[in-house]
Structure 1
């Protein structure tokens, strides 16, 4: 799996997402269409694990979190950027999603959760904010951000 092959894999997914609103119905659709255990989920998870092992994913580290933006928003990815993080029992920096965020949760420890969600998909709508948290183990999380938009903030729990 090369970064270019990874981008082609992501483009197959983002092609299905480009015209959809980022809301709870999208999360339901994603978890029904590509649930954990499906071929697409396994292919994405395998690609992410390979990318981390080869060093082109999660190639930065800060505060115990490995991360990296592997794809900037382009027409090839239907305007989505792609970031992948590797977190273990930690809360990340508080941030806001001006255009929303789609997350693919890939536990490396069976019991690991992301913001309380197990393996699968989670969607945050436009204007939402959170302090991303992996609990009960280690997980990779793939973030799809429309137009790459993210705003890091300060809140009382992260100050």
Structure 2
């Protein structure tokens, strides 16, 4: 899948969630309608695996984590930025989500989890914070940030 086709795939999903509160209800809705095994999940996972292989995803590396912002927040993406990380049995840097964070967890090796969650979606509300952690294997995690807002702790 091309970067442009990936953009359209994410934009289609972002349109469906635009304006919704980032909360447990959205977490449930995403996992019910676009969760692991669904056509949306499988298309996003294939696109992310392909993008990593082609070098336009996760093009940076630091602290044992491959990462990269694919798209800045823009109207076509309902004001979400799009980032993808590639992590294996590691905790990333602590950060806060001023506007919340929506994560798509895509295990690649083992029974990888992200913050204890298996394949699927995880929604963090505004003001939440964490050490993003992949355990029990390797996973790609796509994350959507309202207005691209993230604050790394010092």
Same fold (TM over 0.5): yes
Distance 2:110 2:50 in 1: 18
2:41 paired with 1:41: yes
Map of 2:141 onto structure 1: 141
Q: Secondary structure at the residue paired with 1:108? A: strand
Following TM superposition, by how much is the alpha carbon of 1:110 offset from its aligned partner in structure 2, in angstroms?
A: 3.9
2:74 paired with 1:74: yes
Structure 1 runs of 4+ off > 4 angstroms?
A: none
Q: Per-residue CA shift, 1:56-81, capped at 9, x if unaligned?
A: 00000001000000000000101000
Map of 1:130 onto structure 2: 130
Bigger fraction of residues in strand: 2
Distance 1:3 1:34 in 2: 21
Following TM superposition, by how much is the alpha carbon of 1:131 offset from its aligned partner in structure 2, in angstroms?
A: 0.4
Distance 1:16 1:101 in 2: 16
Calculate the TM-score normalised by the size of structure 1: 0.96
Q: Secondary structure at the residue paired with 1:111? A: strand
Distance 1:33 1:109 in 2: 24
Map of 2:100 onto structure 1: 100
Following TM superposition, by how much is the alpha carbon of 1:3 offset from its aligned partner in structure 2, in angstroms?
A: 1.2
Q: How many residues align?
A: 154
Q: Per-residue CA shift, 1:2-32, capped at 9, x if unaligned?
A: 1111110100000011110000111001000
Alignment of 1:1-159 (within 5 A): 1-154=1-154
Calculate the TM-score normalised by the size of structure 2: 0.99
Following TM superposition, by how much is the alpha carbon of 1:35 offset from its aligned partner in structure 2, in angstroms?
A: 1.4
Distance 1:20 1:66 in 2: 30
Gaps of 5+ in 2: none
Supply the RMSD in Å over aligned alpha carbons.
0.6
Distance 1:18 1:122 in 2: 16
Distance 1:63 1:77 in 2: 29
Map of 1:157 onto structure 2: none
